[in-house]
Every structure is written in structure tokens, then in C-alpha cells.
Amino acid sequence: MGSEITAADSASARSEILRRIRAAKDGVSDADAAAAAWSNVARDYRRENEPGSEAVLEMLEDRLRDYDAHVARASRGEIASTVARMLAVRGKRRMLVPPGIAPEWLPAGVEFVVDEGMTATELDGFDGVMTGSTVAIAETGTVVLQNVPGQGRRALSLVPDYHLCLVNAGDVVKTVPAAMDRLEPTAELPTTFFSGPSATADIEMTRIKGVHGPRHLDIILIA
Amino acid sequence: MKGMVLDPKTSPVFPMAAKTALEDTQMRKNVRHATDVIQAKRARVVGEMPDWQQLREAGKQIRQHTMEHLDVYLEQFEANCTRAGGVVHWARDAEEARKIVTGLVKASGSDEVIKIKSMTTEEIHLNQALEKAGIHAYETDLAELIIQLGQDQPSHIVVPALHKNRQQIREIFQRTMNLPDLGESPQDLADAARMFLREKFLRVKTGVSGANFLIAETGGVCIVESEGNGRMCLTLPETLITIAGIDKVVPRFQDLEVLLQLLPRSATGERMNPYNSIWTGVQPGDGPRTFHLVLMDNARTKILADEEGRQTLNCIRCGACQNVCPVYRQTGGQAYGSVYAGPIGAILTPQLQEMHHAQSLPYASSLCGACYEVCPVKINIPEVLIHLRSKVVEQNTAGIKGLFDFEAGAMSAMAMIFKSERRFRAAQRMGRMAETPLVRKDGRGEGWISWLPGMLGGWTQVRDLQEMPKETFRDWWEKRGKDGK
């Protein structure tokens, strides 16, 4: 290893790479030309969106079950009791929650601890985590979390071994493009898409549930 | 392959390496099984998309458009990533990239890093450079861990250990993790990896990753993965260093709506892979406090300058072309002598590594076109292969060596013959005379040649050649009457 890389090295590397690109294309592009050309990209694919329709909800449930997640439906009044039932089935008693989670979602008889910047090792000590969600994609069985109140930072839904996630029926869209439309205004927030529990197919292409992320996933659809 | 790195500068040429690989029947069985399974899964989830062709077309156009305005988008990405608290570095080549990353790891105060599977870091042999500087890299993707602990080399872009079966993986884990009683079910093996890596995730303060997409519009980075090891590396360390080729940029957040449909279905045959992460710079209270992003050229601008080769840069590294390739399915990935194997490797490696280091790879294909059919961004791999073959011939005929080059000589002799009708007829007559002693008649009176001398013998080693017809098409055409009878 020769000498350390300096700021001057990086600046000259930058101008050299940009020069090579412009030489390769015989000229400089500008932002306006790029924007005009971008809008000419043919986008003839589907961007169907039937948020919250029965067909879309059923498709999401089907796809999530395909990934081995448990799915239940609850009306607004039944949320806390459904949470209590699902946690009892899983035997979970000490749950993490993000700041800003709706208090009416939390049943009595379970310990809920609000994350206030715990270490990873502390997060690892809980039975599981419960969060809300931003949007869900029926066609791919995907739920999307962002760092907002009620969903929390990324480590929260990652380190504990069990994740109970609540999804509003009105946030369930059919296609990936429809979901990206909804995410665009908050595109800069830390964002996590998850489709089923953590999995791998690295050994003989056999899908195995649960490697490093939560090994068990439950979803409550609030309809 | 043990202990070596897949470096086209030092690897044996493809025909030699392939010969060795073909003798490894266990490896071939493993590769065939794995590629069969992925192909079937891919076919199923692609089949359920009524707009797959429209998505492919959009994917192609987005990538092509990005390359046409690459300077604009890189500058936009840099400005937006910097505004969000990231630090952007530029590396002209592999050596500069290795130096930058090594320096950044040292500056983070750590002598170990946790790593997400990254083809770009494989391409520049980053782990070896870190090791030399006294920094240990822990690979955290299950397949990469198998490769690292087994001192092996990757053989596939997406599933780098697909040449190993469960018994072989168990043997590696038993030995290196000190688990003599480990079972051999995939679940046992995944659990062992979880145990082994958990402690590293919670302890190591510096993470190193590649990137799937850099979003120019927001300065954000997107990584797709399965196991959650990626999320661990992106979220828990204090310092994150991401290294990406300059080709990884996409114009806008909206473009992900196409690429995030094409990539998972093509790569692992899933409707969506288990996890996608998107982050932008540094977010206080969520993830690393320091974020560095290294933009690396390493010959990508050379590819950009070659109009016919340029489409190679559109690749989103799904590996679908490897799974369908009849050559890859026989030889496995390591015979290609590069971390990029299969059809995409056959076009990417020679262009990344200067042609003379990988002369044989453009020939490691039957030009059947299956790779083009499955490519989610419609890279016409056979077209680029032919283009590269012509460059190989050109290169070989450039110097004095070219005067003695048999293939180049044969090609120019062919060109001379085809140019003149008289010479063409003479050549046909000569061919019929020359073949006479070699022709054997079969039961139906058809003549077959099963042995040809010298270099022509390559053709008859695996197939018979039918004798030339007594009457050529030209003779027949001239003999037939004016009314076509």
C-alpha cells in the first residue's frame, strides 16, 4: 500500500473519470437534456392501483402466506385483542415498540418497551418487535417500513427474532409502481422492504426461513 | 482453485480450465441441480407477469438513457448524497479503490469489517488488500461465508456457492466453526451461520458493502438481499463504506419501480427478494454515523467508449444468463477465471480487463441466444460476443504475430475465396477431391467423414461431417431449364 489517498487525489480522480465519460460519448450532457430524454422512456407496464380492495387484500394475504408469514384481519376495534391473541400463540411477553406507536394497539398483560436508542445487544434481548407500516404491495407480498413515528429506526425491526407488523387496508396497493408512487414524497427516509421472514436459498437452492433477520413474521391487516 | 483468486491475468485460459472443470462430476451435478431449480422458479414468476416484455423494454431504456447521460447523473448523485451527509470518493481503478477503502477502514479505528456480498469488491480483490493491511473482513452472506471459510472462489453472481452441496458445506462448517456434531439439513447449516455471525454483527464497528442502485435524484442507495445480513451491515456499524461501479447509478427514485420488478424475478425467481434497503446519506439516530461512498471506474469508461460493447454496462447482475447458458451449466463458473462468469462474464471480463487477458472468453459460448432471451434489460449478449471476437482477431493480426496466426490467416483466405466466383468454384472442386479418401458410406449410401486432420479435427471430435454433395447448388441452378424445371 503506497501513501494515503488525499483530497487532491480524489478531486483529480473525479475530474479524470468525468473527462473519460465525456470523451466516450463525444460531449457533455446537461441536466435539462437528461430530464427531457428521461421523460421519453417508454413505460408501458402496469401501474394498477386498487388500494384496499378485497381482491388486493386477498392477494396480499395469499402472497404473505406463501412466504410462511401468519396473517390475520382485524377491525379498528379489535386490534389490541388480535395483537394479544397472536402474541399468546407465539409465546411472546416482552415486546419492543417504536416511539409513536398508537397506544390503543397495545393490549394489557404484555410488556411493551419503547425503543429510545437502545444498543443492538439490548434489542437482541427482547422477544420481538411490533410496528406499523407505510405501504404494502399485494402482487409481491411486500410490506414497506420507513423511519417515522410508529415504525421506528431500521435496527428495531431487524435485530429481534420476531416481528408483528400492522398494515392498514387502505395502504395496500396492487403493484410495485403504485407503491413507489406513494413512497416518492418520503423517498429520502431510511426505508426497508420486507417480503416474508428472513430467508436464504444459498444451500442447494432450498428456501430456508430465517437467517439473520426476524425468523418469524406475523401480519395484522386492519380492515 | 483453493487459495487462489479469480484473476483473469493469472487464471488458465477457458478451454484448459473448462477441461479440468468437466472432470469434476460432483461440481457439475451441483451446478446442474441449482441452475435447474432457479430456472424453473424464474419461469414461474416471470410467467405470471402480463407486462414482462414492457418491463424489460423500460429497463433497457432506463439503463441506456443513464449511460447516455452518465456524467450528469453521477454529478447529481454526488451532490445529493453529500447534501444528505455522505462522503463521496472517486476511484479511477481497482488499486485506487482498494487504497481508499483501506484508508477509510483504518480511519474508522477498526481492524475488522463485516461485509455484504458484493461483486464489485470481488472484482477488485478487496479482502486480500484489507488482509495485507492487517484488517480482517468477515463475509456475512451465507454463500460468501461458505466460500471464505472453504478458501474457495465464487462461481455465480447471485449464488456464489452453488457449486457446493450440503455435505460439502457441512464439512467446511464442521472444520472451521468447530462444530463436530453439525447436521447436514439446510436449516442446520443456516442456524450455524446465524450463531457464528450474530456476535460479529453486534460487535464490529465498520461495515463494507456494494450497491445495487445509486439514485441520482435523491443521493440514496438501494441494496437488495435475502438473509438480513445486509440490513445488519447497513444498520448496526458506526461507519459504513459502500463501493459501487459508476454504472450503478439510476436517474430517479421512480426508476426503481421497474428495476425492483425485473431484478428479483430474474435473479432468484422470487416475486420480491426478502429485503430491500434504501438509505440516503446519514440519518441521525438510524444507522451509521459516518457514510462513505466510493464511485469506481475501473475500465467502465472504456466500455462506454465502445459503441457496440456499451450495452454491457446495462447489466444489473441478476445472473439469469448464467443459469440458462449451456456452456456455464457444464463447466460451472470458476472455469471462466473471473468473478464474472457465464455469458455476462464472457463479455464483461475481456472488456474490464483489457482484451489480451481474456482472449478465449468471447469463444466460451455457442451463440444460442438463451442469455439474450432471459436478460431483464435486454442486453444482446451474442451480438457483443461476436463484436469481441472480431476484436480478438483484429488484435492478433495487428502485430507480426498476426502473420503466422492460423485463424486470422484462414479468415483472410476465406474472404479472398468468397470475393471471386472463379476461386469459389475451384475451392469447391478441390474440397470434393480432397475429402474422397476420408468419406465412409453408411447403410443408406450417404457419405460421412468422421475424422479430419490437424486443426480441422476439432470439428469431427464430437460429430460426423456429411460429405460434400456431388452437384453444387450453382451446378444445379445452371443445368435447370429457363422455365425452372
Query: Count of residues for chain A?
Result: 223
* Whole-angstrom distance, CA of residue B62 vs CA of residue B207: 30
Instruction: Give the range among A42-46, A132-136, B123-127, B392-396 with minimum mean pLDDT.
Output: B392-396
Q: Quick one: A93 and A187 in the same domain?
A: yes
Task: List all residues 6 or more positions away from A103 whose beta carbon is below 8 Å from its beta carbon.
Answer: none
Q: Are residues B296 and B444 in the same domain?
A: no
Residue B7 reports pLDDT greater than 60 = yes
Boundary of a domain, candidates B238, B273, B301: B301
Query: Is A123 found in the same domain as A86?
Result: yes
Query: CB distance from A131 to chain B under 8 Å?
Result: no
**CATH for B181:** 3.40.50.10420
**Is the separation of the CB atoms in A160 and A127 below 8 Å?**
yes
Instruction: For chain B, give the percent of residues with pLDDT over 70.
Output: 94
Q: Give the count of domains, chain B.
A: 2
A13: cell is 480522480
pLDDT digits (tens, 9 = 90+) for B311-344: 999 999 999 999 999 999 999 999 998 899 999 9
Same domain, A97 and A129: yes
**Contact assignment for B285 to A153 by CB distance below 8 Å:** yes
With a cut of 70, say whether residue B82 has pLDDT above it.
Answer: yes
**Looking at residue B71, what is its pLDDT?**
97
- Tell me what the mean pLDDT of segment A168-175 comes to: 97
Chain A hits for B163, Cβ within 8 Å = none
Is 60 exceeded by the pLDDT of residue B402?
no
pLDDT digits (tens, 9 = 90+) for A32-85: 999 999 999 999 999 988 888 999 999 999 999 998 899 999 999 999 999 999
SS (H, E, C) chain A: CCCCCCHHHHHHHHHHHHHHHHHHHCCCCCHHHHHHHHCCCCCCCCCCCCCCCHHHHHHHHHHHHHCCCEEEEECHHHHHHHHHHHHHHHCCCEEEECCCCCHHHCCCCCEEEECCCCCHHHHHCCCEEEECCCEEECCCCEEEEECCCCCCCHHHHCCCCEEEEEEEHHHEECCHHHHHHHHHHHCCCCEEEECCCCEECCCCCCCEECCCCCCEEEEEEEC
In-domain check, residue A47: no
Helices (H) and strands (E) in chain B, counts: 22, 13
Rounded to an integer, the average pLDDT of B155-162 is 92
Considering only residues 186 to 205 of chain A, which have any Cβ-Cβ distance to chain B shorter than 8 Å? 187-205
pLDDT tens digits, one per residue of B182-216: 999 989 999 999 999 999 999 999 999 999 999 99
Q: How far is A91 from chain B (nearest CA, A)?
A: 21
Phi, psi angles (nearest 5°) of residue B215: -100, 110
A49 assigned to some structural domain: no
Q: If you measure CA to CA, which chain B residue comes closest to A19? A: B71
Q: Which residue of B has its CA nearest to A35?
A: B251
The residue to which cell 482472449 is assigned: B359
Q: Do A42 and B58 touch (CB under 8 A)?
A: yes
Q: Pseudo-torsion of CA B137, B142, B144, B145, nearest 10°? A: 50
Please compute the mean of the pLDDT values over residues B83-93 and round it to a whole number: 97
Which of these, B260, B287, B227, lies nearest to B49 by C-alpha position? B260
DSSP B12: P
The reply to whether A144 and A196 lie within a common domain is: yes
Inside any domain, residue A144: yes
pLDDT tens-digit series, residues A82-99: 999 999 999 999 999 999
Q: Could you tell me how far CA A24 lies from the centroid of its own chain?
A: 39
- B327 inside domain: no
pLDDT in tens, B225-241: 999 999 999 999 999 99
- Quote the pLDDT of residue A1: 43
Domain boundary among B260, B275, B301: B301
Alpha carbon B141 to its chain's center: 18
Best residue in A20, A115, A212 for a mutation probing chain B (most B CBs within 10 Å): A212
User: How much is the mean pLDDT over chain B?
Assistant: 91
Angle, helix A31-38 to helix B70-83, in steps of 10 degrees: 100
Facing residue for A41 by CB, picked from B65, B72, B234? B65
A141/B contact by beta carbon, under 8 A:
yes
Would the pLDDT of B405 be above 70? no
Q: Going by DSSP bridges, is the β-strand pair B249-250/B439-441 parallel, antiparallel, or unpaired?
A: unpaired
Domain end: B301, B316, B339, which one?
A: B301
Q: CB atoms < 10 A from the CB of A6, how many?
A: 10
Query: Is residue B473 one of the residues assigned to a domain?
Result: yes
Query: How confident is the model over A159-168, as pLDDT tens digits?
Result: 999 999 999 9
Would residue B459 be called left, alpha or beta, if left means φ above 0 and alpha means ψ between -120 and 50 degrees? alpha
Four-residue CA torsion sign, B431, B437, B442, B444: positive
A28 and A86 part of one domain: no
Residue A33 resides in a domain:
yes
The pLDDT of residue B1 is above 50: no
Domain for residue B240, yes or no?
A: yes
| Distance separating alpha carbons of residues B189 and B405, to the nearest angstrom | 52
Answer whether residue A214 is part of any domain.
yes
pLDDT in tens, B369-386: 999 999 999 999 999 999
Chain B partners of A9 at a C-beta cutoff of 8 Å? Answer: 96
In a domain, residue A1? The reply is: no
Of A103, A104, A90, A83, nearest to A220 by C-alpha is: A83
Q: Residue A89's domain is classified under what CATH number?
A: 3.40.50.10420
User: What is the rounded distance in angstroms from the CA atom of residue B288 to the CA atom of residue B167?
Assistant: 38
Q: Which of A163, A214, A198, A183 is nearest to B280 (CA)?
A: A183
In whole angstroms, give the CA distance from residue B23 to residue B15: 13
User: For B51, which of A16, A45, A202 is closest by C-beta distance?
Assistant: A45
pLDDT over 90 (residue B138): yes
Query: Is the CB of residue B40 less than 8 Å from the CB of residue B320?
Result: no
Of B8-22, B146-160, B427-441, minimum mean pLDDT range = B427-441
A14 vs B: CB within 8 A: yes
Does residue B342 lie in a domain region?
Answer: no
Q: Which three cell numbers stand for residue B118?
A: 458484493
Residues of B in contact with A184 (CB under 8 A): 253-254
Q: What's the domain count of chain A?
A: 2
Chain B residue numbers touching A158 (CB-CB < 8 A) = 228, 231-232, 235
pLDDT at position B107, please? 97
B266 by DSSP, 3-state: which?
helix
* 3-class SS of residue B23: coil
* A151 and A203 belong to one structural domain: yes
pLDDT (mean) for B448-463: 75
Q: Are residues A119 and A205 in the same domain?
A: yes
Closest partner CB to B231 (pick from A9, A124, A192): A192
pLDDT at B2: 47
- Domain span at A16: 7-38
Vertex A17 angle, CA A14 and A22, to 5°: 125
DSSP state of B13: P
What pLDDT band is residue A8 in, cutting at 50, 70 and 90?
confident
In chain A, what residues touch B33 (CB-CB under 8 Å)? Answer: 204-205
Predicted confidence (pLDDT) at residue B403 exceeds the cutoff of 90: no
Return the ∠ at Cα B84 (arms to B83 and B87), rounded to 5°. Answer: 80
Q: How far is B277 from chain A (nearest CA, A)?
A: 5
Measured between CA atoms, how close is B481 to chain A, in angstroms? 54
Q: Is residue B307 part of a domain?
A: no
Q: Are residues A93 and A179 in the same domain?
A: yes
- Which residue in B has a C-alpha nearest to residue A63's C-alpha? B271
Q: Is B281 left (phi over 0), alpha (psi -120 to 50) or beta?
A: left
For A201-213, what is the mean pLDDT?
A: 83
- Does residue A90 form part of some domain? yes
The average pLDDT across A169-183 equals 97
Supply the pLDDT for residue B447: 85
Provide, as residue numbers in chain B, all residues whose Cβ is less than 8 Å from the Cβ of A177. Answer: 257
Are A65 and A19 in a shared domain?
A: no
Identity of the amino acid at B131: E
For residue B382, CA distances in Å to A161, B14, B338, B362, B386 come to 46, 18, 19, 9, 6
The continuous run of DSSP H or E covering B288 comes out as none
Query: pLDDT digit string (tens) for A111-136?
Result: 999 999 899 999 999 999 999 999 99
Integer angstrom CA distances of residue A205 from B176, B335, B343, B370, B479: 23, 21, 21, 21, 62
Cα–Cα dist B113/A158, whole Å: 19
CA distance A77 to chain B (A): 31
pLDDT, tens only, B466-485: 888 888 888 888 888 766 55
Query: How would residue B360 be classed by pLDDT, with cut points 50, 70 and 90?
Result: confident
Given a contact cutoff of 8 angstroms between Cβ atoms, the answer to whether B5 and B153 are in contact is yes
State which residues form the domain around B37. Answer: 18-301
Give a yes or no: residue B129 inside a domain: yes
> Rounded distance, CA A73 to CA A144, Å?
18
Q: Is A28 on the interface with B (CB under 8 A)?
A: yes
Cell readout for B312 is: 454491457
Q: Are residues A105 and A179 in the same domain?
A: yes
Q: What is the pTM of this model?
A: 0.88
Q: Does residue A124 share a domain with residue A84?
A: yes
The pairing of strands B87-91 and A216-222 is unpaired
pLDDT at B314: 98
Q: Is residue B415 part of a domain?
A: no
In a domain, A48, yes or no: no
Distance (Å, whole) CA A206 – CA A204: 5
Mean pLDDT of B261-283: 96
Pairing relation of β-strands A135-137 and A142-146? antiparallel
- Mean per-residue pLDDT over chain A, rounded: 94
Q: Residue B302: list chain A partners with CB under 8 A.
A: 20, 24
Same structural domain, A19 and A64? no
Contact B190 A4 (CB under 8 A): no
Do the chains contact at A211 and B229, CB–CB below 8 Å?
yes
